[in-house]
Structure 1
């Protein structure tokens, strides 16, 4: 078994970030996991998620996006707010491409011929769809509470003008109470690459098997976004009834057992990975 923690990789703009990788002796597949906005690879129950899939016979790779605000020395939370402010969607796509290549490098070195599956949570779900739509190396994709639209996340009218004039827009982190900046370059990069960053278009050209899992009590990313994604991909959405955005998890996660909502998500994901066809049921009772 390969098991590495906080292994370095060079991400967007040559910024160094870190990833974890665990591959059992004869894996069924390798799962690449992308965290969401204001997230990191060790957030909440993500380590327990890794254990769940490894125990089920899968390899697992999770990483910090290069500009998520973490550092090599402190990959948990957000010690580098300037890096966070300089993040944008193009950089995250670069990182996803890089981590896909790194995953395949390990497969080549181990002489393994197994598929690579991609899971993304929240913003990571939207980025996973865009990435996979243009990368046939990804064999299956699952979006957990994934976003359906990037542009709607930006301010409009006077707020957008104020952001341009000030050069930054501050968002408070509810957990850490940090004042987290978004530099205006994020919007400029989006406008420059708007067609490539269209999740609807990516959904419509996606060729790989896909599953959207969403809680119907999600207050951060509405269930309506998950429903739209399922329509655009012509797939069934798996609705976890009563579940919120993080499926009953939080940071830090010190419990010994997975919460029921997250466990339902994992079971549905595992079923999807292990079946030739996609899940046909459209809801999971909470």
Structure 2
């Protein structure tokens, strides 16, 4: 398998993005599958590398990346050394990053016979699920969509809600990262950007507008994003497929770091559903 890690996509007047690609050099016309990590996530979190290899082995070109303002750096893509960038992140920046990755994928693999640049599919985890729903509803290049433990509403999230008066006066509010113990900033621009783009960022409208196949996957024991959010997505789009992974948590019973060389049972079950849907 061909694995390229930490490819740097440099952009004029915008932060660079780090990308990983996984594909077979023995197969031709492999569809592209682009993965978007979630809030306080990153491309190398937990078992995501194992997931990438698993999907690539099934005959796909798997692309994963760090959102430009996720808090990682080019030198340290894991965890959050750049909290200033994290504080300046917002949903429209993430949509712009995903656009850049789709464009890059089509350009990067243009002359590669192993990859089919006209067959692009998205997978989004948690907050990344919301981003992929919106992008898939806007971009006709996307053929299929899979969301994992996805949110169904940006407006009610902790990054938006709370005491707006204090947030505006202070210019920043902090969210504790339970794993790293960092106080992670959200500058008030996050709320201003959301309000300025509220129609575009309305996941319900995007879900109802989808014209492509959508597989919704959620764990029955998810305490981070309630399974009711997955049920809402399916209600808005009755043509979607809905798969519940019993006894699975928000990250399909994995954690970071994931030191095992094998998938958790829940992650394995989730990937079986993903690969079957993509094929």
Q: TM-score range by the shorter chain?
A: over 0.9
**1:125 corresponding residue in structure 2:** 129
SS at match of 2:121: strand
Q: Which of 268, 273, 277 is equivalent to 1:268?
A: 273
Range 211-220 or range 107-116, more displaced: 107-116
The reply on whether 1:238 has 2:243 as its aligned counterpart is yes
Once residues 21 and 225 of structure 1 are traced to their aligned partners in structure 2, the CA distance between those partners, rounded to angstroms, is 30
Once residues 72 and 126 of structure 1 are traced to their aligned partners in structure 2, the CA distance between those partners, rounded to angstroms, is 25
**More strand as a share of residues:** 2
**1:83 corresponding residue in structure 2:** 85
The alpha-carbon deviation at position 198 of structure 1 amounts to 0.5
Once residues 207 and 12 of structure 1 are traced to their aligned partners in structure 2, the CA distance between those partners, rounded to angstroms, is 33
**1:8 corresponding residue in structure 2:** 8
Once residues 50 and 236 of structure 1 are traced to their aligned partners in structure 2, the CA distance between those partners, rounded to angstroms, is 22
- CA RMSD, aligned part only? 1.4
Once residues 13 and 180 of structure 1 are traced to their aligned partners in structure 2, the CA distance between those partners, rounded to angstroms, is 25
1:82-231 correspondence runs (5 A): 82-111=84-113, 112-113=115-116, 115-153=119-157, 154-156=160-162, 159-231=163-235
Segments of 5+ residues of structure 2 without an aligned counterpart are none
The alpha-carbon deviation at position 134 of structure 1 amounts to 0.5
Once residues 127 and 97 of structure 2 are traced to their aligned partners in structure 1, the CA distance between those partners, rounded to angstroms, is 14
Once residues 44 and 22 of structure 1 are traced to their aligned partners in structure 2, the CA distance between those partners, rounded to angstroms, is 17
The alpha-carbon deviation at position 13 of structure 1 amounts to 5.6
**1:257 corresponding residue in structure 2:** 262
The alpha-carbon deviation at position 110 of structure 1 amounts to 1.3
Dislocated runs of 4+, deviation >4 Å = none
Q: 1:250 to 1:12 in 2, by over 3 A?
A: farther
Query: Number of aligned pairs?
Result: 272
